[in-house]
Amino acid sequence: MAEQVRTLLVVDPSGLERMVPLDRDVFTLGRDPSCTIRIDSPYVSRQHARIELGPGGPVFVDLGSRNGSLVDGQRVQGVVPLAPGSVIRIADVTIRCLAEGPAEPTTRVFALPAAEGEAPDDRLRLDVQNHEVWTGARRLERRLSSQEFELLRLLYENRDRVCSSQELGDAIWGVGNWDRDMLHRLVYRLKRKLEPDPEKPRYIQTVPWIGYRVTP
């Protein structure tokens, strides 16, 4: 019997990965918050596409989206069967069809690449599902608050640039609900828990008058 698709590996433009088990009859994909797999992009329709599980395996259906979808490099017209190895492209998101199931379907682990010539022992990893932070093989013993963890996640997801204080504050507390002292205190608490030496931070760098960034 031919192998069937059991899992979708969703990879966003920043390289973050999400494993989604095919454990229901219908999956919706799109920008709408109600979608099973939500894709937050202006190039994605609110109800963009659907994956249906049938007796012959899963199939992909584009729901008349404005910018279309690709399966294995071909624009989708009608119903397209999916098999292990199939690659779906919706805007700048890639979805790979896998035969194996994930050991922990909802766990997302993000790893910072080691700098050139640097031993990888102190690389930063975030386990979003379990709300854990790892530096190399060591799990951070001091658990982060939800706001501290969210700050670290935002910085990591935008690691290729400096995050302004404005965007960080708006994302964590909401527009108009914060001030720079609140953000400064949050960064201070995060550094105290994360950095081996908070006075000489390894991971979180302050960019004067602009904001903050994560440095590999």
Which pLDDT tens digit goes with each residue over 14-51? Answer: 667 788 888 889 999 998 988 989 888 888 999 999 99
Taken in order of first residue, the domains within the chain and their CATH numbers are 5-96 (2.60.200.20), 122-212 (1.10.10.10)
Per cent of the chain over pLDDT 70 is: 85
pLDDT for 28 equals 94
pLDDT in tens, 136-154: 767 888 888 888 988 998 8
* Choice among 58-62, 114-118, 165-169 with the minimum mean pLDDT: 114-118
- Radius of gyration in angstroms for the set of CA atoms belonging to the chain, rounded to a whole number: 20
Across the strands, what pairs with 125? 111, 134
Spell out where the chain has E strands. 7-11, 17-21, 26-30, 37-38, 49-54, 57-62, 70-71, 74-75, 79-81, 87-90, 93-98, 109-111, 124-127, 132-135, 138-139, 163-164, 204-207, 211-214
| Stretch 119-147: mean pLDDT | 75
Unique residue bearing structure tokens 């050139």: 116
pLDDT at 103 (0 to 100): 47
Query: What are the residues whose beta carbons fall under 8 Å from the beta carbon of 49, sequence distance 6 or more?
Result: 28, 29, 30, 60, 61, 62, 63, 65, 69, 76, 90
Taking each helix axis from N to C terminus, what angle separates 165-173 and 180-194, rounded to the nearest 10 degrees?
A: 90
pLDDT of residue 106: 47
Summarised one tens digit per residue, pLDDT across range 63-104 is 999 899 999 989 999 999 999 999 999 988 889 898 865 544
Q: What is the C-alpha separation between 92 and 11, in angstroms, rounded?
A: 9
> Would you state the pLDDT for residue 166?
94
Residues contacting 95, CB < 8 A, separation 6+: 8, 9, 10, 11, 29, 37, 87, 88, 89
Confidence band, pLDDT 50/70/90 cuts, at residue 117: low
